[in-house]
Structure 1
Amino acid sequence: MIMMTAHRSRKAKPGCVLSGCGAGPGVVAQTLEAPPGTPPPPQVTAVGPQELEVRWSAPRHPNGLITSYLVHRRPIGTEEELLVFIWTNGPLEFIDASHALQPFSQYQYRVQARNSKGSAESQWASARTLEAEPREMASPTVVPTGAYSARLTWTGPRQPNGLVSQYRVVYRKHQLDPTLNTSSVIALTVEEAKSQRG
Structure 2
Amino acid sequence: MFSLQVRACTRVGCSVSGMSQYFQTLPAPPEGVPAPHLYSDTPTSVLLSWGAPERSNGPLEHWEIERRVARTKQVSTVGHLLPVPSPLSFLDSSSALSPWTVYQYRLVLHNQAGKSTGPWVSVTTRPSRPAGLSPPRVKVLGSESLEVRVLLC
Provide TM-score, normalisation by structure 2.
0.72
Say if 2:97 is the partner of 1:130.
no
1:139-185 Cα deviation digits (max 9, x unpaired): 3889x9xx8xx899987953xxxxxxxxxxxxxxxxxxxxxxxxxxx
Unaligned runs of 5+ in 1: 1-5, 13-20, 159-198
Output the amino acid matched with 2:111.
N
| Alignment-derived partner of residue 50 in structure 1 | 44
Q: CA deviation at 1:31?
A: 2.5
Say if 2:63 is the partner of 1:73.
no
What is the CA–CA distance in structure 2 between the aligned matches of 1:76 and 1:29, rounded to whole Å?
46
| Alignment-derived partner of residue 12 in structure 2 | none
Q: How does 1:114-129 map to 2 (within 5 A)?
A: 114-129=110-125
Output the amino acid matched with 1:129.
T
Unaligned runs of 5+ in 2: 8-14
Closer, same or farther: CA 60–151 of 1 in aligned 2, 3 Å: farther
Which of residues 56, 60, 80 is equivalent to 1:62? Answer: 56
What is the CA–CA distance in structure 2 between the aligned matches of 1:44 and 1:64, rounded to whole Å?
27
Q: Which has the higher contact order (CA 8 A, sep 6+)?
A: 2
CA RMSD of aligned residues (A): 3.6
Provide TM-score, normalisation by structure 1.
0.57
Closer, same or farther: CA 137–59 of 1 in aligned 2, 3 Å: same
Rg larger in structure: 1
What is the CA–CA distance in structure 2 between the aligned matches of 1:8 and 1:156, rounded to whole Å?
76
Kindly report structure 1 stretches of 4+ aligned residues shifted beyond 3 Å: 6-12, 27-30, 136-142, 150-158
What is the CA–CA distance in structure 2 between the aligned matches of 1:76 and 1:107, rounded to whole Å?
5
What is the CA–CA distance in structure 1 between the aligned matches of 2:96 and 2:70, rounded to whole Å?
14
Q: Sequence identity, in percent?
A: 27
- Partner SS for 2:116: strand
Output the amino acid matched with 2:73.
E
What is the CA–CA distance in structure 1 between the aligned matches of 2:122 and 2:110, rounded to whole Å?
22
What is the CA–CA distance in structure 1 between the aligned matches of 2:119 and 2:30, rounded to whole Å?
15
Which of residues 77, 95, 103 is equivalent to 1:99? Answer: 95
| Alignment-derived partner of residue 196 in structure 1 | none
- Partner SS for 1:58: coil
For these two proteins, the number of residue pairs brought into alignment is 141
